A and B are shown apart, each in its own frame.
Chain A
Amino acid sequence: MSDRQDVHPGVSREVLAQKFRAFIDPEYVISDDETLKPYECDGLSVYSEMPMLVVLPETVEQAQQVLRICHEERVPVVARGAGTGLCAGAMPHREGVVLSMAKFNRILEINPVARAARVQPGVRNLAISEAAGKYGLYYGPDPSSQIACTIGGNVAENSGGVHCLKYGLTVHNLLSVDLLTVEGERITLGSEGLDSCGMDLLALMTGSEGLLGIVTEVRVKLLPKPEVAQVVMAGFDSVQTAGDAVGAIIAEGIIPGGLEMMDSHAIVAAEAFAKAGYPTEAKALLLCEVDGTEEEVHEHIDAVESLFKRLGATSVRTSHNEEERARLWQGRKSAFPAVGRISPDYYCMDGTIPRGQLAHVLTEMERMSEACGLRVANVFHAGDGNLHPLILFDANVPGELEKTEDFGGRILELCVAVGGCITGEHGVGVEKIRQMPAQFNDLDIAQFHRIKAAFDPAGTLNPGKGIPTLRQCQEYRSLEMSIEPNSGAENQLHREGGHE
């Protein structure tokens, strides 16, 4: 059961396209290579595959019919939102259909009193906050890709953003989702209330990467916009001190709206790009945003400023109006394109670690970076321990991509070794399937397969993603043993260290 990841449908492209065109606008059933091309990958373009077909249904009934036919013919189905995913989760299956949810782009209802919005899955994350804005409300999770990514993709990845330490991830901001099962059956998980009876299927569905069902409607919570937000920027002459400062803020009982850290490589790149006024000589930079009522923000900003100074920050600056706040954030927000400017290519990783391990992890990463000759810049959701190392490389140099992937894999294993995990918000997809056995043993993984089979026994929803086959696990383990006989013992050591 668990090793069946390859699905071979017995139906040809043309026959299937014909079937779909019977009930979907023929223009929205794409079968020619040229028009299929843009769908070959998501935001992680190093992985790509041409699909057999792309369909863009316009109604739930059409999507339902697509699923029924695919189920009957055992054709793989890969759901797609905006394709901004960073783990190749939306990468097509060569013998499958890409089910694009792009036409489901309507906000169906905003209830400002109940603080909820009912939206179709193809609605962009930011569009929800824009529509709710006139009521003084917004949608909490704010991935950096929020102008483009869809709420359906957010549900599938359980996406986060810079404000999730205080306002939670996608899973904390959902009331219900409507979905289609692999058989094309419509179900609703959750309700207009906060909690439902029975096992929490809504939570299970969130972050399931399109492997358990297709999201067709989402009811999200809306939050009142804070009265004020102010950000304090502080430079530090060591990563350790900056890390300690993060701990000290929490110890003070303050939960910042956003708490971001950048290392010296990221600071220099961001400053060159955005001219935000960052101290380029600093070894680490913190951006601490406090939001809430005027009184509260005032009280907490004072506390944060004096705490940073007391802990030896080399520079401290606080925004006093919206313009200054936007400028201070500008550097952080453009960190990815900024890094893109100093290197032909970069590869964004996404591990989570206990915050106390930060200095150790960055030192180790620097060591690995020197050993393999690839530079790495770090941006870090410091509040919740989510690291985004950006590995700089040149895809035109033969072998450099492979070297980069290997380095990235080592970083994720390091995250697990210190008590963290291989992905905080981008998901596993195709990309991190190799490292799954570092975090889970074969029994855990077998249980994942049994969960998958409960929803999708034939394994046609997004095959080859998210959960490795047991054979892949064995290969991973035997490879690890043959390369690094000591790594197991070292991992054990760190794991214990990480729990102290």
Chain B
Amino acid sequence: MSDKQVQLVDQVLAARERRQPVRIVGGDTKAFMGRSTDSALPVLDLSGHTGILTYHPVELVLTARAGTTLAELDAALSEHNQMLSFEPPRFGKNSTLGGTLACHLSGPGRPWWGSVRDQVLGVRLINGQGEALRFGGQVMKNVAGYDVSRLQAGAMGTLGVMTEISLKVLPRPASTRTLVFDCEMDEAVSIMNRRSVEAKPLSAACWLDNKLYLRLSGAHSAVDATLSHWGGSELMDAEHFWHRLRDHQLDFFCTSLPLWRFSVNPTARMPGLSGQWLVDWGGAQRWYLGNAELSEMERIAVEAGGQVSLFRGGDRSAEVMHTPPQAVKALQQRLKHAFDPDGLFNPGRLYSWM
């Protein structure tokens, strides 16, 4: 637990005075994400700004400094049988809460339990003028002012230095069990969608290597009844499987090939490309391994009703995020200017033009 708020504000003010852009770094486990940026830029280090400030299990609300590790949050929450319902990936043991929100990362339960942005209630943030601001709150509902907290999701630190984050947390389900079925990808996608229409306690649905995995979470009786109703065989050591999927530890991810992330209509049929697919989020997230051009991938994503990004590997000096239409690009640039007029934070990390 340590408070670096004052130093952080000073560092931003100093950077501003010198017109010297900085790289914001938490646990440094997501350096592979976004575009590669000038490694000579000075680092604004959040890893020392840590600690859970308030946690009221019965209020389902937790507030922590942005540099707090997910591991520390897990430990505190599990004491009360609660969890971060968005199942954030741990790309290393130092993964922090701030980095998770900035990169908008959520795990296999996302379609049913919400994303990190869904669970965010409030943030404290230092803008490019060195002003320490506070938005949202520590209560579950707050519609006063613009939703600056959720705006940070996916901004990759380009709008400001998040120093404190309040979140909604949830009880751990009493029971979790997983079913496995043998099937091809297209069939798996239609089963996932069909199962999602049923009012059953489905909490994750993934396909890889000709196997469909369906996770059930909830009250014991409900999980058991659905399990026997749906058939299939039960996966042993399932928690390990879902963790390895969440953290990209499965063999599928252990390669040097470029990894593309498609966020699409869950029912979309993706074209048969030469590379490999993994389907997650009940069909709404597709991972593709293979060499390709961003423009070609964008065409496929748009056809499937969504967007694509080059998640890992490949050419990271070019654009890695889906190209926004001109009007949306202009809005993002004006918002960037509204928060960080001197362009101090993470220049070029999200887009070359920001």
Q: Which residues of A contact B (CB under 8 A)?
A: 111-116, 135-137, 157-158, 160, 164-165, 168-169, 171-172, 181, 185-189, 191-201, 203-204, 206-208, 212, 224-227, 247-248, 250-251, 253-255, 292-293, 295-296, 298-300, 352-356, 381, 384-386, 419-428, 432, 436, 439-441, 443-445, 447-448, 450-455, 466-467, 499-500
Contact = CB atoms under 8 A, between A and B. Distances in A.
21 contacts: A114-B265, A181-B331, A189-B328, A191-B263, A191-B306, A197-B322, A199-B155, A204-B147, A204-B148, A224-B199, A247-B58, A250-B59, A293-B222, A299-B219, A354-B61, A385-B59, A423-B144, A424-B143, A439-B145, A447-B148, A451-B146
Given A198-B321, A250-B60, A355-B58, A169 B263 contact: no
A421 B142 contact: yes
Nearest to B102: A199
B47 interface: no
Given A428-B143, A451-B335, A500-B54, 18 more contacts: A168-B114, A187-B331, A189-B328, A193-B285, A193-B307, A197-B154, A200-B153, A203-B153, A255-B170, A299-B219, A299-B220, A300-B219, A352-B139, A356-B56, A385-B141, A440-B134, A450-B338, A455-B331
A309 B155 CA distance: 49
Nearest to B354: A198
Contacts of B324: 197-198
B155 A198 contact: yes
A114 B269 CA distance: 12
Residue of B152, B194, B325, B328 with most partner-chain A CB within 10 A: B328
A200 B332 CA distance: 10
B115 A195 contact: yes
A198 B171 contact: no
A384 B170 CA distance: 13
A441 B58 CA distance: 29
Q: Which of B59, B146, B151, B350 has most chain A Cβ within 10 Å?
A: B146
A192 B225 contact: no
Contacts of B92: none
Interface in B16-54: 53-54
B225 A293 contact: yes
| Residue among B57, B153, B170, B219 with max Cβ neighbours from chain A (10 Å) | B219
A188 B322 CA distance: 14
A187 B221 contact: no
Contacts of B141: 160, 164, 169, 352, 381, 384-386, 421, 424-425
Interface string B132-172: 11110111111111111011111100110000000000111
Interface in B190-230: 193-194, 196-201, 218-222, 224-226
A295 B331 CA distance: 49
- Which size bracket describes the interface of B in this complex? 35 or more
A439 B143 CA distance: 11
A447 B339 contact: yes
Given A189-B328, A193-B264, A201-B331, A207 B222 contact: no
Contact of B140 (A165, A423, A447): A165
B327 A454 contact: no
A195 B263 CA distance: 6
B88 interface: no
B118 interface: yes
Contacts of A440: 134, 144-145
B316 interface: no
7 A-B pairs with the lowest CB-CB distances in the bound complex, closest first = A192-B305, A193-B306, A203-B150, A295-B221, A193-B263, A424-B141, A253-B171
A38 to B, nearest CB: 26
B145 to A, nearest CB: 6
A426 B143 CA distance: 8
Contact of A227 (B57, B199, B266): B199
Contacts of A227: 199
Contacts, number: 292
A353 B58 CA distance: 13
A296 B219 CA distance: 6
Nearest to B57: A251
Contacts of A441: 134
Contacts of B144: 421-423, 428, 432, 436, 439-440
A420 B115 contact: no
B139 A199 contact: no
B61 A195 contact: no
A445 B54 CA distance: 25
Nearest to A446: B131
B248 interface: no
Nearest to A250: B58
B335 A172 contact: no
A208 B146 CA distance: 6
B203 to A, nearest CB: 13
Nearest to A211: B146
Contacts of A422: 144
Contacts of B143: 157-158, 207, 423-428
Kindly name the residue among A136, A164, A247, A296 whose own CB sees the greatest number of chain B CB atoms within 10 A: A296
Nearest to B305: A192
A199 B221 contact: no
Nearest to A207: B143
B299 interface: no
B121 to A, nearest CB: 10
A354 B122 CA distance: 14
A160 B224 CA distance: 33
Contact of B325 (A187, A254, A292): A187
Given A113-B197, A253-B174, A453-B338, A200 B151 contact: yes
Given A224-B198, A421-B137, A447-B131, A194 B339 contact: no
B22 to A, nearest CB: 19
A295 B228 CA distance: 13
B202 to A, nearest CB: 10
Contacts of B328: 187-189, 201
A181 B221 contact: no
Contacts of A193: 262-266, 284-285, 304-307
A445 B218 CA distance: 42
Contacts of A169: 141
Nearest to A422: B144
